[in-house]
């Protein structure tokens, strides 16, 4: 076989797969979003945006992303630095930390529901310690803050590992020589972190953040398990348009709005964390 | 070449698998009903096992149910033989996609149901299959707190509120349970129970002064409602766990409580308001999509499902009642007896004000329900001003009625053309 054709042949299955299962459905969804049976229209967008829950679910989604992602970034940087400094048991710790990654997000939501529920572990523990007389209902509409905290905790628990894995790989790529040189010049560990690790980690940070931020806008199952309808998010609204109202067009329009938000933030992250031209590791 | 031969092998394998699946002669019964594992198993083991052919009973959530059905309809080729779903699921479909069942010679005993099953056309598009309703149930521990002079079989909303308040006071925690969870049937309470009992209507009277009173009363009841109700969807769970002592729900969503501990709970009619004791049926039907692979087989299955013996087995399996004339035996499960009694008392009560299922809404049934759910969330959960919310939501309701042109249904007074929101 012609060796020049080989790479194309090898990426052909993936290209076909993406074409059939991503590009084609995407085109269909876009068509749905801009039509109501007749010709081109923006009615679907007007409908979903003017619905009274849209601002609330938009705010909730953004707020959740704004709180969860930075926390996860700090945590995963901390964890990645710790792991990379470990001599022994590094693999074991990594495996344990990435366990939540292997659990589906709905299962993760249910695990945290088992903790926060009225008959859940937290209540049993508190009543066992004599802190409360009877079970408290944490996840009620009266405590929106606790619902928010529970969802944020579950999200942090579940999805920090995805950033961790990328950052650990990134840290492994930074040549040791830089650190040795810095130590020779007497740079403190903090200096080494801010002047070497962080800048050299840019490409990995970029990937990790893009992935995580996009996932944060798609948060659904954890919210559904813990908050039900009490904490509306954009994805939940898409689900309800599609399956409760059977309104494919509105669901498609809202999905495109989420896509636009994702693209917008992806571009910002790519821009802010870009590696200057000519600079290489 | 090696790659090529592998590919050929794989393709051949897929083709063999597909054709093997197509060669099976099972009728696929694609249903949104009898979803819980025990019910689905009972459908397979006791209800459908008596059928001469083999049936592949596949219950699913509404969303996936509709998605697959639509995919088959669009592809104009399918494997689903018979559809089982609620009236609302069918009315959301296009009438052209369902096969006319007039020549089957089976129908429900109730003309109202048969009329509903025409979905506004002159053809029978689904055959009524089974029915249920919504009732109240209580833990027997709550009975001692009934307000003085109240008859549990003829409660008024005021007495219900007083009762819930007594229990709240005595136990220190609110014990009324309401299916306000994401999968709960709260909208049916407003459409079929609260509104008819207070306003003698649903659509016309949506934003009337009587409706304001109804919501005020419901807000009072909510004071004594377990706040976790926003997570409750099947009240049998809360009855059994003791989180709720007095509840409202669909008969089949209470069945487990009665079947597990029949001596601990009582079932009773829904309360009455100033304009009577509003209540509403639940109607499930069976239909054949135009893409069914074997029409004759599908029709035979529907005829089998409508036989009195099959209907009784269905009742035991799902706690849904027969739609044909049938003598009920004595050895029914406790849940069936309890629910049957409560529904009978409800229909026979002097102030009964039976409502119908929303009809003529087509695929706007979900939007119609959402108007009521949103009103609930805004008035009760977000504590917005009742008058303002009703005036605001009224616009959405009117838009749905105008768009679909659906005429009024009972208890609203009949209308010429689309049912007006007054």
Using the predicted structure, report yes or no on whether residue A99 has a pLDDT greater than 70.
yes
Q: What is d(CA B320, CA A184) in angstroms, rounded to the nearest whole number?
A: 81
Q: What is d(CA B403, CA A43) in angstroms, rounded to the nearest whole number?
A: 15
A10 at the B interface (CB within 8 A)? no
Percent of chain A with pLDDT over 90: 63
Question: Which residues 152-211 in chain A show a CB within 8 A of chain B?
Answer: none
A165-184 confidence digits (pLDDT tens): 999 999 988 998 999 999 99
pLDDT for the residue numbered B422:
85
B395 at the A interface (CB within 8 A)? no
Using the predicted structure, report yes or no on whether residue B329 has a pLDDT greater than 80.
yes
B231 at the A interface (CB within 8 A)? yes
pLDDT for the residue numbered B277:
93
Measure the CA angle with vertex B373, ends B287 and B394; round to 5°.
100
Using the predicted structure, report yes or no on whether residue B357 has a pLDDT greater than 50.
yes
Using the predicted structure, report yes or no on whether residue B219 has a pLDDT greater than 80.
yes
Query: Contacts for A108-113 with beta carbons within 8 Å, 24 or more apart?
Result: A108/A154, A108/A157, A108/A158, A108/A221, A108/A222, A109/A154, A109/A221, A109/A222, A109/A223, A109/A224, A109/A225, A109/A226, A110/A225, A111/A154, A112/A150, A112/A153, A112/A154, A112/A157, A112/A222, A112/A225, A112/A226, A113/A139, A113/A225, A113/A226
DSSP, collapsed to helix, strand or coil, labels residue B250 as strand
Question: Mean pLDDT throughout B180-186?
Answer: 90
pLDDT for the residue numbered A246:
81
Contacts of A67 (CB under 8 A, 6+ apart): A152
Most B CBs within 10 Å: which of A51, A124, A228, as the mutation test of the B interface?
A228
pLDDT for the residue numbered B108:
86
Q: What is the dihedral of CA A244, A246, A249, A253, to 10 degrees?
A: 10
Quickly state the pLDDT bin for B121 (edges 50, 70, 90): confident
Reading the block at residue B92, the tokens are 């959301």
Using the predicted structure, report yes or no on whether residue A17 has a pLDDT greater than 60.
yes
Quickly state the pLDDT bin for A34 (edges 50, 70, 90): very high
Query: B2-131+282-333 is classed in which CATH architecture?
Result: 3-Layer(aba) Sandwich (3.40)
Using the predicted structure, report yes or no on whether residue B12 has a pLDDT greater than 60.
no
Q: How far is CA B402 from CA A40, B136, B368, B395, B396, in A?
A: 23, 34, 12, 10, 10
Q: What is the CATH number assigned to the segment(s) A58-247+256-272? A: 1.10.3720.10
Instruction: State ipTM.
Output: 0.75
For residue A232, count other CB atoms closer than 10 A to its CB. 22
Question: Mean pLDDT throughout A225-232?
Answer: 87
Q: CB distance A246–B363 less than 8 Å?
A: yes
Question: Mean pLDDT throughout B300-307?
Answer: 94
Reading the block at residue B105, the tokens are 């010679």
DSSP, collapsed to helix, strand or coil, labels residue A41 as coil
Question: Which residues 213-252 in chain A show a CB within 8 A of chain B?
Answer: 224, 228-230, 242-247
Pick B370's closest partner by Cβ from A140, A141, A245. A245
Quickly state the pLDDT bin for A281 (edges 50, 70, 90): low
Helix A248-272 to helix A202-217 angle (10° resolution) is 160
| Mean pLDDT (chain B, rounded) | 89
Question: How close does chain A come to B382, measured CA to CA in Å?
Answer: 9
Q: How far is CA A137 from CA A86, B184, B375, in A?
A: 42, 19, 24
Nearest C-alpha neighbor of A156 from the set A92, A76, A225 = A76
B60-103 confidence digits (pLDDT tens): 988 889 889 999 999 999 999 999 999 888 888 888 999 999 98
pLDDT for the residue numbered A279:
63
| Lowest-pLDDT range of A117-121, A221-225, B194-198, B371-375 | A117-121
pLDDT for the residue numbered B73:
93
pLDDT for the residue numbered A275:
79
B173 at the A interface (CB within 8 A)? yes
Pick A230's closest partner by Cβ from B226, B230, B367. B230
In CATH, B133-281+351-404 is 3.20.20.70: no
Helical ranges in B76-110 per DSSP H: 87-91
Contacts of B235 (CB under 8 A, 6+ apart): B137, B177, B179, B244, B247, B248, B249, B253, B254, B257
Question: How close does chain A come to B104, measured CA to CA in Å?
Answer: 30
Nearest C-alpha neighbor of A142 from the set B169, B239, B241, B226 = B226
pLDDT for the residue numbered A3:
85
Q: What is d(CA A139, CA A223) in angstroms, rounded to the nearest whole number?
A: 11
pLDDT for the residue numbered B18:
46
Nearest C-alpha neighbor of A208 from the set A101, A66, A68, A73 = A73
Reading the block at residue B306, the tokens are 């409508």
A165 and A123 in contact (C-beta within 8 Å)?
A: no
Using the predicted structure, report yes or no on whether residue A113 has a pLDDT greater than 70.
yes
Reading the block at residue A261, the tokens are 């938000």
Helical ranges in B45-132 per DSSP H: 62-75, 87-91, 111-116
Nearest C-alpha neighbor of A228 from the set A136, A150, A156, A119 = A150
A141 at the B interface (CB within 8 A)? yes
DSSP, collapsed to helix, strand or coil, labels residue A273 as coil
Helix B209-223 to helix B386-404 angle (10° resolution) is 120
B263-280 confidence digits (pLDDT tens): 999 999 999 999 999 999
Domain extent listing, chain A: 58-247+256-272
- Burial class of A218 by CB neighbour count within 10 A (0 to 12, 13 to 18, 19+): middle
How many residues are present in chain B? 422
For residue B356, count other CB atoms closer than 10 A to its CB. 20
Q: CB distance A141–B172 less than 8 Å?
A: no
Q: CB distance A139–B228 less than 8 Å?
A: yes
Using the predicted structure, report yes or no on whether residue B1 has a pLDDT greater than 90.
no
Percent of chain B with pLDDT over 70: 94
Using the predicted structure, report yes or no on whether residue B325 has a pLDDT greater than 90.
no
B321 and B132 in contact (C-beta within 8 Å)?
A: yes
Domain extent listing, chain B: 2-131+282-333, 133-281+351-404
A6-15 confidence digits (pLDDT tens): 999 999 999 9
Q: CB distance B63–A228 less than 8 Å?
A: no
Pick B366's closest partner by Cβ from A137, A228, A245. A245
pLDDT for the residue numbered A140:
83
pLDDT for the residue numbered B218:
97
Quickly state the pLDDT bin for B6 (edges 50, 70, 90): low
Quickly state the pLDDT bin for B299 (edges 50, 70, 90): very high
Q: CB distance B381–A230 less than 8 Å?
A: yes
Question: Which residues 51-80 in chain B show a CB within 8 A of chain A?
Answer: 61-63, 66
Quickly state the pLDDT bin for B40 (edges 50, 70, 90): very high
Using the predicted structure, report yes or no on whether residue B20 has a pLDDT greater than 50.
no
Percent of chain A with pLDDT over 70: 98
Q: CB distance B62–A243 less than 8 Å?
A: yes
Q: What is d(CA B72, CA B108) in angstroms, rounded to the nearest whole number?
A: 28
Q: How far is CA B53 from CA B45, B48, B298, B300, in A?
A: 14, 9, 10, 9
Quickly state the pLDDT bin for B19 (edges 50, 70, 90): very low
pLDDT for the residue numbered B271:
96
Question: Mean pLDDT throughout B208-228?
Answer: 95
């Amino acid at each position: 076989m012609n060796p020049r054709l080989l790479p194309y042949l090898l990426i052909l299955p993936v290209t076909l797969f993406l074409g059939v299962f991503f590009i084609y459905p995407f085109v269909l969804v876009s068509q749905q979003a801009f039509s109501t049976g007749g010709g081109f229209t923006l009615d679907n967008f007007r409908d979903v945006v003017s619905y009274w829950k849209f601002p609330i679910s938009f705010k909730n989604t953004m707020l959740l992303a704004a709180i969860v992602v930075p926390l996860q970034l700090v945590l995963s940087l901390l964890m990645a630095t710790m792991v990379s400094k470990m001599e022994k048991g590094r693999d074991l710790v990594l495996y344990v930390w990435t366990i939540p990654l292997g659990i589906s997000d709905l299962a993760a939501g249910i695990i945290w529901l088992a903790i926060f529920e009225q008959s859940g572990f937290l209540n049993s523990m508190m009543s066992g310690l004599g802190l409360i007389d009877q079970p408290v209902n944490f996840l009620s509409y009266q405590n929106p803050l606790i619902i928010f905290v529970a969802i944020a905790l579950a999200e942090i628990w579940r999805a920090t590992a995805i950033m961790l894995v990328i950052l650990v790989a990134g840290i492994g790529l930074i040549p040791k020589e830089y650190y040795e040189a810095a130590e020779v010049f007497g740079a403190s560990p903090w200096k080494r972190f801010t002047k070497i690790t962080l800048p050299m980690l840019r490409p990995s940070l970029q990937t990790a953040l893009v992935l995580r931020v996009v996932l944060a806008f798609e948060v659904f199952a954890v919210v559904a398990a813990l908050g039900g309808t009490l904490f509306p998010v954009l994805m939940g609204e898409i689900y309800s348009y599609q399956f409760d109202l059977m309104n494919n067009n509105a669901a498609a329009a809202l999905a495109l709005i989420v896509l636009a938000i994702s693209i917008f933030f992806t571009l910002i992250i790519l821009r802010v964390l870009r590696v200057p031209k000519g600079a290489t590791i | 070449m090696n790659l090529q031969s592998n590919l050929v092998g794989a393709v051949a394998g897929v083709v063999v698998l597909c054709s093997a699946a197509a060669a099976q002669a099972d009728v696929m019964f694609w249903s949104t009903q009898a979803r819980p594992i025990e019910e689905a198993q009972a459908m397979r083991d006791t209800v459908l096992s008596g059928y001469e052919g083999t049936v592949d009973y596949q219950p699913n959530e509404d969303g996936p149910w509709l998605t697959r059905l639509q995919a088959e309809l669009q592809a104009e080729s399918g494997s689903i033989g018979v559809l089982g779903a609620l009236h609302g699921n069918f009315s959301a479909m296009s009438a052209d996609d369902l096969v006319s069942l007039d020549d089957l010679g089976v129908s429900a005993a109730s003309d109202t149901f048969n009329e509903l099953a025409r979905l506004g056309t002159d053809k029978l598009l689904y055959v009524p299959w089974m029915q249920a309703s919504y009732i109240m149930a209580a833990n027997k521990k709550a009975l001692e707190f009934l307000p003085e002079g109240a008859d549990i079989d003829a409660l008024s909303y005021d007495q219900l509120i007083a009762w819930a308040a007594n229990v709240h006071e005595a136990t220190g925690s609110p014990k009324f349970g309401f299916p306000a969870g994401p999968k709960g049937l709260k909208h049916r309470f407003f459409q079929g129970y609260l509104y008819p009992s207070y306003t003698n209507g649903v659509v016309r009277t949506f934003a009337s002064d009587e409706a304001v009173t109804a919501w005020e009363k419901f807000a009072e009841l909510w004071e004594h409602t377990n706040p976790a109700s926003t997570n409750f969807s099947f009240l049998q769970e809360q009855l059994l766990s003791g989180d709720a002592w007095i509840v409202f729900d669909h008969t089949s969503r209470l069945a487990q409580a009665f079947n597990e501990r029949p001596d601990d709970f009582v079932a009773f009619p829904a309360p009455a308001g100033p304009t009577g004791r509003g209540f509403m049926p639940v109607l499930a039907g069976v239909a054949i999509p135009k893409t069914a692979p074997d029409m004759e087989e599908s029709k035979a299955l529907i005829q089998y499902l409508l036989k009195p013996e099959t209907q009784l087995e269905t009742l035991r399996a799902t706690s849904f009642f027969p739609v044909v004339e049938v003598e009920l035996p004595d050895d029914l499960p406790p849940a069936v007896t309890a629910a049957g009694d409560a529904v009978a008392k409800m229909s026979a009560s002097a102030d009964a004000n039976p409502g119908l299922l929303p009809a003529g809404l087509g695929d706007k049934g979900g939007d119609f329900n959402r108007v009521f759910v949103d009103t609930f969330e805004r008035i009760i959960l977000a504590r917005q001003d009742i008058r303002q919310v009703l005036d605001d939501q009224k616009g959405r309701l009117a838009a749905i009625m105008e768009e679909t042109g659906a005429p009024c249904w009972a208890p609203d007074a009949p209308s010429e053309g689309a049912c007006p929101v007054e």
